[in-house]
Chain A
Amino acid sequence: MTLTQTLTADDFAPLAKAQHPDQIVRPSLSYWQDAWRRLQRNRRAMWSLYLIAALLLFSYVLPFVVPFDAVGQDLTQISQAPSLEKKSLVVDTQPWPGQQVRPAELARLQSAPFDPATRVTGLTLVGEANTESVRLAWQPVAGAKAYQVYRHLLVPSGATDLGLPLGQTEQPEQVSYEDRLKLQNMPYYYSVRAVADTGEVSDYATVKATPRLAISVRAALSRGLITADQTDSMIGREVELQRHLMGTDYLGRDLLARLVYGGQTSLFIGIVAPLLFVAMGIVYGGLSGYLGGRTDEVMMRFADFVIALPFLLFMILFRVAMGIGPGESGVTPMLIAMVLLGWPTAAKLVRGQVLQLREQPFVEAAQLMGANSRYLILRHMLPNVMGVVLVSLTFSIPSAIFTEAFLSFIGMGVAPPTPSWGAMCNDGVKSFMSHPHELLFPALFISLTVLAFNLLGDGLRDALDAKMKG
């Protein structure tokens, strides 16, 4: 190899300062940017993040876009499963005087002996059966004091299988009955039997009725389905009922709307409570770790005391002790109770970190270079503690949401009518067998939220490489 190039004086001129001799190929990344990149690579964590964003949008933004009514009671659609469209007959609900036996006839019947073998005859529906009322009438039975009316969902198979006892007629001359109890658009089997003074019962007769979905004029008017001038013309016609995408609860309230507003409560408590107690923990733990010595010992002893309190027991105690006044939602007492009991864990975590950091060379270096406390805390301690704190915060959220759900579930949570997912579960459990959607939807939302925060926490921990205790 021979050197053929000739050098000029220019070649020896110094390079411009801006040009770095050994430039790093990758752009410089701060700790947080790096963590964010690693998090982005974690598909599960990212999906959780999107899910959390979606849940927050669902609860906090959606109500601004679509008007939801979480308190309105649609009494024509109580505990309805999810459905899209329903048409209902508009009916005029006037009190029904019923059918009576004439006094002369009654006297003759009353004087006749009662025969348990006779059967009620002439049992028939009066008018069309609809969900506002089903009207029954029958022929009187000799010697009967009253009549028992039963309602079944299946064809009765015998005298002990007549179904639900609806009631007994009140006057002996009454040979009719109006049923209004939670009627739905499905077949019912009504049975009627006579009762004598002695308590003996006659044989029964059964009639089948399938009530048509109906809404009273009054209810249709108050729910805005018809206008005031339509009240007469609409009777006997059909209107479309409000849609309930996720069905309704036991008061006919829209479940979707309740879930939205319930989410506001649950997510608020679930996120704000950990934020508050972690913040308190940072201050307390940071101070304790930073001050060190005797103060540290006393402060940590106190934190240990609070940790030793049985958590759920004291949550319940504090929540009851603070009480809920009229019209209050009960969110604040729960928040306070959670913060009062939750802070020491975060405090101990932060203190541990601070103690570790204090011994780190870069902190010592900074101290040697005359950095003041303010600088030390803001520049070195806080950023380095934040990773661990963030992960701990993320993991606190699911347990806070569970705590809220649990307390509301045992009736010690938010006060009705404030919706929360836990309280909705509590209501839903009662009707789980017949209307599972009332439990499943809120339970699903709780599960999804907890799942998302757990997975995000996992992702964050990996991304921040934070070593967690316990």
Chain B
Amino acid sequence: MTRAASHRQRSGRNRGQWSLLLCLLITVVSAAVQATDLDYQSRTVTVAMSQEPPDMNAITSTDAVSGMLLGHVMEGLLRYDPNGDLVGGVAQRWQLRDDGATFWLRPDAKWSDGSPVTAQDFVFSWQQAVTPAVASEYASILFPVQNAQAINDGQMAPSTLGVRALDDHTLEVSLHQPCPYFLGLTAFRTLFPVKESFYRSRGSRYAAEARDMLYNGPFALTRWVHGASVRMEKNPHYWGREHVWLNRIDVPYITEDPNAHMNLYRDHKIAMASSLNSESLEGALRERMQIKSYLDGAIFYIEFNHRDARVTRNRNLRKAIQQVFNTDDLVYKVMGSPGSFPTYTLFPRWLKGKQDFFVREYPAQKPELNVTKARAYLDKAKQELGVAKIPPISLLADDSPGGQKTAEYLQTLLGQSLGLEIRVDMQIFKQRLAKTGSGDFDMVVSGWGPDYEDLLTYGDLFASHNLNNRGRYRNERYDHWVAVAQSSLDVAERMHAFDQMQKILFADAVIVPLYERGNVYVQNPRLQGVLRRALGGDPNFNYASIQPEVSVNAETSVNPESRLNPKTRIAPGSGLTPNAHRGAGVILEKEP
């Protein structure tokens, strides 16, 4: 505002010229870097990321942002196709047995320096991943492999890991017990190959810069300005390069502010903007943006502390809370987060059961909301605990919007309906994790994302031996069903085991499931084939393509009102009107 005023003051008549000059100047200096969201000619898509990738070394990497990039620039033995099915990646053929697996590698799979991807590259990276000194946090992913756990505990040498290169293109894996989900693991980043000679030549600088990595995926990192931008270009040595349509994925914006993402999208600077909340959604709708949603795999729940010193070890107290908690209210009204679904079980809706989705085959039991029953449970709990009033309960949550809203909602709800005093313990993420890990909570709002495509990645969470069982829930029957699911190769038996687990979780009120997190995002309709998924790096552009601009122009130039007004004029309640225009739909007025 001040600049404009100065022109008025200073240059009076010359104002027009001045501002023109200014415009020109700015345009000239800023035009060079301003690309648009989609460029059909150069096959470039421009997007934004929330964060600088923390660790691009696939062996140690654990976070989502690096996972997204690694999903483009690296490829494991197997990979996911656009339908989410496992298909051959570096491996051309494979065979899974009770005691192991054999993978035959493509002879044309190459690194970005042109050298072939060999079975030794897998042996090296897998051995690295379980080597204690490397301290890979995802080492446990490899534990189904023979000796992996013992090596990771420092009891055996890394060379004893049950994986061998029979020759350059044949990889032999020994499993220490049947592992029905092992093939899915080979698409996971910890099991990606790493070329030993290159890795050793870079030392501690491996994966610190774009030039300090070798790539075997459809794309290669060609530019990485820390905190500012990342660029991926088609890998000319990728065996399946004919099937990759895009030439370049440009990420010139890195910010965690979702509003900034939305504004960039609105300004046609990026082709998709993720994580719309109920607020930014309204603007997106009004501006007719294409809105999509997907489930990112994370399940959220309230976990109770089952340690002896905690009041929450009392089952009746937990049952009382379960009886009043209105998950629908939380998700639909308080969170109002479009795309998320209230859930009543630990298992997500997108994982397969016997033939169909597990949640369809074994529907979860919905707790009935009943304050009277809840109070009865509460009275029983007080008797058992021998107190007149339940002492204050601490509710740990992190300061993410979801955690904060859940905690504040629960605090008021339990206060009003049960007279419980809830002390919200809001911490930054790392402190929340530390407190959860050390058991310093009564209740905690937690979430869990999948590591591999099997119900077990959720199911074994509450096994007594699992380190991620932060509330130290112990139940022999639960452990038994986990053991069954771990080793059985019979699908029906495994699914029955998972159903038993969810029944125990409900009956014992071990957790209160909250929601399956969905992500609502806007995407340029010309951009197609982008995969949004819970596993294998999200989003993924390996199969993406751009529609030429012309056809879209024709579509968007149609004024929607002009097409639909004639139909809205039809008397309300006259039912369905045949409509010749495909895609126009039918409007049926029904006002209260």
Contacts and interface: CB of A to CB of B under 8 A. Distances in A.
A119 B329 contact: no
Interface stretch (B273-281, B501-509, B536-544): B273-281
Nearest to A180: B332
24 contacts: A73-B408, A79-B279, A117-B582, A119-B579, A152-B285, A156-B560, A158-B560, A160-B555, A164-B338, A182-B332, A204-B585, A208-B589, A222-B416, A222-B417, A250-B334, A251-B409, A326-B394, A327-B424, A411-B428, A417-B407, A430-B277, A430-B279, A431-B277, A434-B282
B293 interface: yes
B228 interface: no
A465 to B, nearest CB: 32
A385 B379 CA distance: 63
Interface string B271-297: 000000111111101101011110000
A274 B427 CA distance: 27
B520 interface: yes
Nearest to B282: A434
B27 interface: no
B558 A157 contact: yes
Interface stretch (B17-25, B102-110, B126-134, B397-405): B397-405
A205 B329 CA distance: 29
B333 interface: yes
Given A78-B333, A121-B576, A251-B409, A327 B283 contact: no
Nearest to B332: A180
Contacts of A209: 590
Interface of B: 83, 259, 277-283, 285-286, 288, 290-293, 328-329, 332-334, 336, 338-339, 341, 349, 359-360, 392, 394-396, 399, 401, 404-405, 407-409, 411-412, 416-417, 423-428, 431, 520, 525, 555-556, 558-561, 563-564, 568, 576, 579, 582-583, 585-592
Contact of A160 (B360, B427, B525): B525
A130 B257 CA distance: 34
A326 B395 contact: yes
B279 A434 contact: yes
Contacts of A251: 334, 405, 408-409, 412
B285 A417 contact: no
A129 B592 contact: yes
A296 to B, nearest CB: 41
A167 B333 CA distance: 16
Given A161-B290, A161-B560, 18 more contacts: A71-B412, A121-B576, A123-B586, A152-B285, A155-B568, A164-B281, A170-B359, A171-B360, A180-B332, A203-B585, A204-B583, A205-B585, A205-B586, A325-B425, A326-B396, A430-B401, A432-B279, A434-B280
Contacts of B409: 73, 251
Interface string A109-125: 00000000101011111
Contacts of A415: 424, 426
A295 B351 CA distance: 73
A380 B423 CA distance: 51
A98 interface: no
A431 B590 contact: no
Contacts of B576: 121-122, 205
A154 B287 CA distance: 9
Contacts of A212: 592
B326 to A, nearest CB: 9
A41 B334 CA distance: 52
Contact of A250 (B285, B405, B555, B579): B405
Which 5 A-B residue pairings sit nearest by Cβ, starting from the closest?
Answer: A327-B423, A157-B560, A326-B425, A431-B279, A326-B394
A416 B431 CA distance: 16
Given A155-B560, A208-B587, A416 B279 contact: no
A448 interface: no
Contact of A75 (B285, B329, B587): B329
Given A208-B588, A212-B592, A165 B280 contact: no
Interface in A111-165: 117, 119, 121-125, 128-130, 152-161, 163-165
A126 to B, nearest CB: 10
A119 B576 CA distance: 11
A236 interface: no
Given A164-B285, A417-B411, A435-B279, A124 B336 contact: no
Contact of B341 (A167, A189, A433): A167
Interface in A202-229: 203-210, 212, 222
Contacts of A152: 285
